[in-house]
Amino acid sequence: AQSVTQLGSHVSVSEGALVLLRCNYSSSVPPYLFWYVQYPNQGLQLLLKYTSAATLVKGINGFEAEFKKSETSFHLTKPSAHMSDAAEYFCAVNGGSNYKLTFGKGTLLTVNP
Amino acid sequence: EAGVAQSPRYKIIEKRQSVAFWCNPISGHATLYWYQQILGQGPKLLIQFQNNGVVDDSQLPKDRFSAERLKGVDSTLKIQPAKLEDSAVYLCASSLDKGQYYEQYFGPGTRLTVT
């Protein structure tokens, strides 16, 4: 079985501050890992994905994530938050025998001016 | 290229009524998914199609939910009869093929409210 745990259902940062959204996973096979963003009343948009190549993955809008196998983590970071980053972020793992995408519960990011 | 289309965007029904959602995937995508996203939770896979065949429907409540993908393109998801706990956003996604490597593209979703 595979699972995803996102630590912190709500993270609040000031504009210009570092964004850190935490994700831990479990998977019985080498996983592919994803971060998606969801703006209000919209579907999910892929930010970045890890596919067993480089452990540091760069995505859109200045986000990046580092795969750490020893810690089973895939935390999402951005050096400087922008107001437009306010949204809900979902970490997901695709692994296991049936390669089904399993999502975490999400982290709501608010950015204060 | 055009994205995944879904309709309607919003639907309000009373419990015990029936409802249907429609999804048109990205052209050429063989794999289609329906997810249920309850408020405060991540999306949960309900059913996965490969062309017009079902790959995984293990989490579909088959006593009330049904889905089809005739001709391997468009898909409909139906709930009959609806319960209060079915209130959620129903997301459709598609990918070029099934498997770990292929990215899933999501539609805007249909927000269902059951009263």
Q: Which of B56, B104, B108 sits opposite A42 (nearest CB)?
A: B108
Residue B86 belongs to what H/E stretch? Answer: none
Asked whether residue A98 carries a pLDDT value surpassing 80, the answer given is: no
**Encoding tokens for residue A38?**
């969801």
- Quote the minimal CA–CA distance from A6 to chain B in Å: 10
The two structure tokens encoding residue A25: 């996973």
| Partners of residue B43 in chain A, C-beta under 8 Å | 44, 90, 103
**Cβ B109–A43 below 8 Å, yes or no?**
yes
Chain centroid offset of residue A18 CA: 15
The pLDDT tens digits of the residues spanning A2-59 come to: 899 999 999 999 999 999 999 999 987 788 999 999 998 888 999 999 988 789 999 9
Per-residue pLDDT at B2: 82
> Does residue A1 register a pLDDT over 80?
no
Q: pLDDT tens for residues B90-104? A: 999 999 988 877 889
pLDDT at site A95 = 74
How many beta-carbon contacts under 8 Å exist across A and B?
52
Q: Residue A24: how many CB atoms within 10 A of its CB?
A: 18
What are the tokens at A89?
Answer: 């972020």
- Please compute the mean of the pLDDT values over residues B59-72 and round it to a whole number: 94
- Provide the token pair at B79: 């709930």
SS (H, E, C) A60-84: HHHCEEEEECCCCEEEEEECCCCHH
A101/B44 touch (CB, cutoff 8 Å), yes or no: no
> pLDDT-derived band of residue B1, with 50, 70 and 90 as boundaries?
low
What is the C-alpha separation between A84 and A93, in angstroms, rounded? 26
Smallest Cα distance from B21 to chain A, Å: 15
Partner B contacted by A104 (CB < 8 A): yes
- Is A44 within 8 Å of chain B by CB? yes
Residue A29: closest C-alpha in chain B? B100
Mutate: best of B54, B60, B96, B100, partner A, most A CBs <10 A: B100
